[in-house]
Amino acid sequence: MTFLPGSFLSSLHHLQHFPKVDILLLLGLALFGGSIGGRLFSKIKIPQVVGYIVIGLIVGQSGLNIIDQETIQILQPFSYFALGLIGFMIGGELKKSTLARYGRQFVWILLFEGMTAFVVVTALVSGIGLFFMEPRSALATGLILGAIASATAPAATTDVLWEYKTRGPLTSIILGIVAMDDGLALLLFAMASSIAASLLGSSDGSTAKLFLYPLYDIGGAILLGVTCGLMLKQVIRKSSDNGKILAHSIGAVLIALGLARISHVDFLLAAMTVGVVITNGNPRKSVEVFQTVEKFTPPIYIVFFVLFGAKLTVASLTLPAAAIALAYLIGRTMGKMLGSRYGARISSAPATVQKYLPYCLFSQAGVAIGLSIVAGQRFSDSTGSMIVVVITATTFVVQLLGPPCVRMAVSKAGEVGLNITEEDLIRSTTVAETMDRNVPVLFENSPISAILTAFSASPNLCFPVTDKDKCLIGIITVAHIKDVLMTTELNEFLLTHDLMEPPVVTTSETKSVAEAQELMNRYHVEYLPVLSTAGKFIGIMEKHSIQTLISRKLVELQNQVKG
């Protein structure tokens, strides 16, 4: 032992202090368990995000406590990162054209849904509060909870939109509203907490500061986001490597998040602004940027929602807190529904928005919890702790009920499955939908003239050769016939049998186009004969026709969105 240097001994000593559960193991379990939970919920037609949160609840503080308070605290930057990515992706949806098209509707709906929720919650909570507390406290609690009620959480809502690939007016309006109503919530909260402080006699004379803070919070975040967005735009201008684009984009989002946290400005808004700058500053490049980042995000989101579920504590609700929580829930739901419906109506939003937007704004999370904690610290008496308990309990409820409502609304609005890229279509389309069932079939003894007739009468570039039982025995391609055209003296002696080649690879109609393409690439062929389960020939897939069919489908989907 005397030969061991002191530093080595001290590092050995350090190794004895392992954390209770390794963070990497925890992340792995959260990701694995979360995705299984998501898949199980998806099978029963409930958005996967609910599954992630439920898994979080099971392993978190309200359940098995595998993920405890300390771990959640350690992983807090990870949640900021996930929220930053969500913000960045939402920002990417806020294109100039969308804002020009729905801008007026955004403003009206935002004002009405936010203000109505504020007014209704304030009235209801204050009213119910009168049964349990003195009038001033009841009104103060009502005002603070009313302000918090106006916020809508983007994460769980947008996750449903992305999971179901939605596109259309309702989707655009939801994204716009969830992106912007935190600003309104901050302003209302500043106003409400100032009045509440006066009511409760705890005003510290910093009302001006309280009103100026939201301006600093929002303005600072936008400034930071614009700076980081412009920096990213410049760096990726000439980059075509997806790996580098991803690294630069994530880097810019992280810088925006870090600086926002240091400067105490809204980090979500900062990340969102980075997205807005990219999508509007370089629209063509932005498609590549957001597609690349999107592929990177699923595991981050899963862990984020699992951690979110783990953080929720089902507090032992007292009767007054339960009554106020119920009043808050009812008031917020009614306020959001009535306000968004009225806002949509007076801004002449499309019928689907008027009808279904009211079901899409229930989600409540980070901003609401954050504001409740601020209120808890500012009003350190029973009002403050009541607000924290009510927001935590109601967040638990709305985060579980909100996503299924969004799913129901977007599917009734007919927007599910319309936000589909070429890649998605290739993955989701089956061979059965794209194969050519009417390709002319040749037989072994078909003469050259029959092959030439087939080529001249159909757009196919290859033809199956089958026996009388429809079993595939070969393929004739344009390359085969080309050689014969140069040697016309052979035409009367040759048969299809002499020119065909045995099928290199076949597929079945249940396979996806992506799988079929992968087979074509692996075997270097331009076609795939499709066989039934009984091994009979039923159609052919040609590489050149896949592109045509996929493009046609994309145009059809775009027309549906416009329609």
Partner 1 sequence: MTNLITREKTFILEAGTKDGALTELVNKTAAVADLSNPEKIISALMHREKLMSTGIGLGIGVPHIRSDLTTEPVISMGVCRNALPDYDSIDGIPVKIIVLIITGIGQHKEHIRILSSIITKLKNESIRNDLINTSSTDSIFKALETAT
487 binds partner 1 (CB under 8 A): yes
Q: Considering beta carbons, is residue 445 or 449 the nearer one to partner 1?
A: 445
467 binds partner 1 (CB under 8 A): no
Q: Which of 149, 148, 176 is nearest to 161 (CA)?
A: 176
Report how far apart the first and last C-alpha atoms of the chain are (Å, whole number): 80
C-beta separation of 292 from 372 below 8 A: no
Which residues, 6+ apart, have CB-to-CB distance to 298 below 8 Å?
A: none
Rounded CA-CA distance 22/469 in Å is 62
Q: How do strand 462-466 and strand 442-443 relate by DSSP bridges?
A: parallel
Rounded CA-CA distance 112/108 in Å is 6
C-beta separation of 526 from 517 below 8 A: no
How many Cβ atoms sit within 10 Å of the Cβ of residue 199? 18
What's the closest the beta carbon of residue 507 comes to partner 1, in angstroms?
Answer: 22
Task: Name which position in 22, 433, 501, 518 contacts partner 1 (CB under 8 A).
Answer: 501
State the residue for tokens 């880097």: 251
Q: Considering beta carbons, is residue 448 or 528 the nearer one to partner 1?
A: 448
495 binds partner 1 (CB under 8 A): yes
484 binds partner 1 (CB under 8 A): yes
Choose the stretch contacting partner 1; rule: CB under 8 A; options: 15-23, 251-259, 274-282, 496-504.
Answer: 496-504
**Tokens of residue 113, six digits:** 């849904």
C-beta separation of 270 from 224 below 8 A: yes
C-beta separation of 409 from 341 below 8 A: no
For residue 417, give the 3-state DSSP assignment: coil
Q: Considering beta carbons, is residue 16 or 488 the nearer one to partner 1?
A: 488
**Tokens of residue 180, six digits:** 């912007």
Task: Name which position in 499, 525, 540, 546 contacts partner 1 (CB under 8 A).
Answer: 499
Q: Which of residues 379-438 bind partner 1 (CB under 8 A)?
A: none
Q: Considering beta carbons, is residue 158 or 496 the nearer one to partner 1?
A: 496
70 binds partner 1 (CB under 8 A): no
For residue 21, give the 3-state DSSP assignment: coil
Task: Name which position in 70, 134, 241, 483 contacts partner 1 (CB under 8 A).
Answer: 483
Q: Considering beta carbons, is residue 16 or 487 the nearer one to partner 1?
A: 487
Choose the stretch contacting partner 1; rule: CB under 8 A; options: 137-145, 394-402, 490-498, 518-526.
Answer: 490-498
Choose the stretch contacting partner 1; rule: CB under 8 A; options: 84-92, 335-343, 409-417, 476-484.
Answer: 476-484
469 binds partner 1 (CB under 8 A): no
What's the closest the beta carbon of residue 499 comes to partner 1, in angstroms?
Answer: 7
Instruction: State the DSSP code for 142.
Output: H
Q: Considering beta carbons, is residue 421 or 445 the nearer one to partner 1?
A: 445
Choose the stretch contacting partner 1; rule: CB under 8 A; options: 16-24, 76-84, 176-184, 477-485.
Answer: 477-485
CA distances from 250 to 131, 161, 400, 408, 510 (A): 51, 22, 29, 32, 38
Q: How do strand 462-466 and strand 527-531 relate by DSSP bridges?
A: unpaired
What's the closest the beta carbon of residue 454 comes to partner 1, in angstroms?
Answer: 18
468 binds partner 1 (CB under 8 A): no
502 binds partner 1 (CB under 8 A): yes
Rounded CA-CA distance 247/239 in Å is 11
What's the closest the beta carbon of residue 501 comes to partner 1, in angstroms?
Answer: 7
Q: Considering beta carbons, is residue 255 or 505 the nearer one to partner 1?
A: 505
Q: Considering beta carbons, is residue 374 or 461 the nearer one to partner 1?
A: 461
Rounded CA-CA distance 99/151 in Å is 20
336 binds partner 1 (CB under 8 A): no
- For CA atoms 316, 321, 323, 324, give the dihedral sign: negative
Instruction: State the DSSP code for 419.
Output: S
68 binds partner 1 (CB under 8 A): no
What's the closest the beta carbon of residue 485 comes to partner 1, in angstroms?
Answer: 10
**Tokens of residue 191, six digits:** 């106003």
User: How many residues interact with partner 1 (rule CB under 8 A)?
Assistant: 18
Choose the stretch contacting partner 1; rule: CB under 8 A; options: 88-96, 243-251, 282-290, 484-492.
Answer: 484-492
Q: Considering beta carbons, is residue 1 or 486 the nearer one to partner 1?
A: 486
Task: Name which position in 457, 493, 522, 563 contacts partner 1 (CB under 8 A).
Answer: 493
Q: Side-chain half-sphere of 176: how many Cα atoms within 13 Å?
A: 28
Site string for partner 1, 427-466 (x = CB under 8 A): -----------------xx---------------------
State the angle between helix axes of 319-346 and 382-412 in degrees (0 to 180), rounded to the nearest 10: 40
- Using H for helix, E for strand and C for coil, what is the string for 494-524? CEHHHHCECCCCCEECCCEHHHHHHHHHHHC
492 binds partner 1 (CB under 8 A): yes
Task: Name which position in 456, 489, 533, 534 contacts partner 1 (CB under 8 A).
Answer: 489
What's the closest the beta carbon of residue 484 comes to partner 1, in angstroms?
Answer: 6
Q: Considering beta carbons, is residue 17 or 524 the nearer one to partner 1?
A: 524
What's the closest the beta carbon of residue 482 comes to partner 1, in angstroms?
Answer: 10
Rounded to the nearest 10 degrees, how much is the dihedral formed by the CA atoms of 62, 67, 71, 77?
Answer: -90
**Tokens of residue 175, six digits:** 């994204």
Q: Which of 60, 181, 66, 168 is nearest to 114 (CA)?
A: 181
Q: Considering beta carbons, is residue 195 or 504 the nearer one to partner 1?
A: 504
Q: Kindly list the residues in this chain that would bind partner 1 in the complex (CB under 8 A).
A: 444-445, 479-480, 483-484, 487, 489-490, 492-495, 497-499, 501-502
